[in-house]
Amino acid sequence: MDRLFENAATHRGVSGTRGWVVAPLHGLNDPAAPQGRYILVAHDLTPADTAALDLDRVAGFCTASGGPTSHTVQVAHGLGIPAVVAAGTTVLELPAGTVCALDGDAGLLHAGLYGPDLQKAIAREDAMAERARVRREAAQAAGPAPGGVVLSTTFVKPAQAAELTRSAAAGIGLLATELLFLGREHEITDEDAHYRAYLDLARAVRGAEITVRTLDIGGDKPVPALNLPKEDNSFLGVRGIRLALRRPDTLLIPQLRALYRAAADGARLRIMFPMVTTVEEFTQAAAVAEKICRELAAPRIPLGVMVEVPACALAVDRFVEDVDFLSVGTNDLTQYLLAASRTNPALARDIDPLHVAVNRTVAHVADTAGPAGVPVSACGGLAASPVGAAVLASLGVNSLTVTLPAIPAVHEALSRLDDDSRQSIRHEALTTGGTRHLTEHVTTLLGL
C-alpha cells in the first residue's frame, strides 16, 4: 500500500530538488544497501555528505530534518538527484528495501509501492526522463538563452566539466570554492592547491568564464580544520567575507594569489565576495586583490559581490559605484528577509522565495544597477526553477546561474517570454507575489 511522506514545505511549492525516481529504500551506512541504485534515507545530510554520494548507487534521498533551501539541497540539485527534506522522523522507521517513489517536484515520498501503483510510478519515471532528454536536446540545438538573459551554471564536481561544455550554459556563474575541498579541508588554506584546482577547471571547461565565489565558510558549511569557535547563530555570525577579512593571511590572500596566478596562466575568471554587508568590506577586499594583481603582474579580474544581505540590497546604490557586477543570492536573501532559517525544518512552511518582499528587493537591485551599467545575475534554487527564472528575468536580472540539470527547463521557460508576459509577471510579482500565486500565473501565461 502506498504510504505518503510529505515535505513540510510542499504547500508552498518548495520541494527540495526536482525529479522523480523509483528505487528501494536504504539508510545511511546501511550494510545491506545493494550495488544497484537506491533511495537513501537519513536524519539529515551535510553538504559534504551530499557531494560525496556515489551517484552510481544513490538515485535520490529523503531526510527527516533539514530545510528546502539548505546548501545540502543545493548540492543535490547541482548533482541532478531528486530529494525530499524535512519529511519527519517517521520516515526513518521505514524498513530497508521498501520500494519507494521519490517526487522531488512535489516534495513527496511514496513508500511501499507494488503492483499497478509500482508500474505507474515506473512509467512516470520513464516519461519524465524522456521529457528531460527532449528538453536537453532542444536547449543544445537552440544555443544561448533568448531574450538577452545569459545562462550560466553552478558547479559541484570536476566530472561535470565535460557536461557543461555540451550544455547551453555560457560558463560557470557560481564556483563555490569551499565545495572543491570537501573531504580534504586541510588544503583549504593552501595556495598551490587552490591554484591547481582553478587552472584544471579552466582547462576542463575549455576557456569558458568562471565566476569564483571566495570561501563562504560558516552557516551550514563549517570547516573543522579551521577550529572556528561555536556560534549560537552561525548564519548571523562570522561567515563569508567577515571571516576572510579576519583571517587574511590564511584565507583571503592565499586564495586571491591562486586566482591571479591562474588568470596569468589563461583562466577567464571573475571574483565574487560573499555575505558583503558594507561597501567598506568590498573595498577592503578589493584593495587586497588589486595589490596582489600588481605584485604578480597578472591581468585584471572583474570584482563583484553577492547580494544576499538585506543591508547590501537596500544600499546597492552605493555599491554600483565600485563593483563590476552583482549576483543576487536568492536563498540567503530570502532567509534574511523573512527571518526564517533555511535549515530549520520547523520553518520550512515559512520560506517563500517568491514572497513579494523578495521580489521587490530583487527589482530594486536590478533597477538601481541597470542605469549604472552594472550587470546583475541571480543564483540559488529560485533561478533553477522555470517559474523562478521567468520571474527573475521579468524583474530585470541579466543572467541566471542554474544547476546543470535545470538548464533545459529554464531555457524553455525563457524562450516563451516576450515583452507583454514580462510586464504581466513583473506586475504580479511586485503586487501580490507568493510562490503559489506566481506559479499558477506564470505556468498559465507561458504554457509551462
Residue 379 appears among annotated catalytic residues: yes
Contacts of 205 (CB under 8 A, 6+ apart): 161, 164, 165, 171, 172
Selecting among 26, 312, 379, 441, the annotated active-site residue is 379
Residue 214 gets which letter from DSSP?
P
Contacts of 417 (CB under 8 A, 6+ apart): 146, 147, 390, 393, 394, 425, 446
CA atoms of 391 and 21, how far apart (whole Å): 28
Pairing of strands 303-307, 83-84: unpaired
What's the distance, CA 261 to chain centroid? Answer: 27
Q: What are phi and psi of 168, to 5 degrees?
A: -85, 10
CA atoms of 110 and 117, how far apart (whole Å): 10
CA atoms of 71 and 55, how far apart (whole Å): 18
Residue 218 gets which letter from DSSP?
B
Cβ atoms within 10 Å of 201's Cβ, excluding its own: 22
Q: Is 301 helix (H, G, I), strand (E, B) or coil?
A: coil
Selecting among 71, 77, 355, 411, the annotated active-site residue is 71
Q: The C-alpha cell of 325 is what?
A: 557586477
CA atoms of 335 and 340, how far apart (whole Å): 5
Contact between residue 2 and residue 22 where contact means Cβ atoms under 8 Å apart: no
Contact between residue 270 and residue 375 where contact means Cβ atoms under 8 Å apart: no
- With CA atoms as reference, report the closest residue to 275 among 176, 352, 171, 347: 176
Identify the sign of the CA torsion 261, 264, 266, 268: positive
CA atoms of 293 and 266, how far apart (whole Å): 14
CA atoms of 303 and 296, how far apart (whole Å): 17
Cβ atoms within 10 Å of 190's Cβ, excluding its own: 17
* Angle value at C-alpha 370, between 368 and 371, nearest 5 degrees: 80
Pairing of strands 99-103, 269-273: unpaired
Residue 71 appears among annotated catalytic residues: yes
Rg (CA), the chain: 21
Q: The C-alpha cell of 144 is what?
A: 544561448
Q: Which residues are catalytic?
A: 71, 379
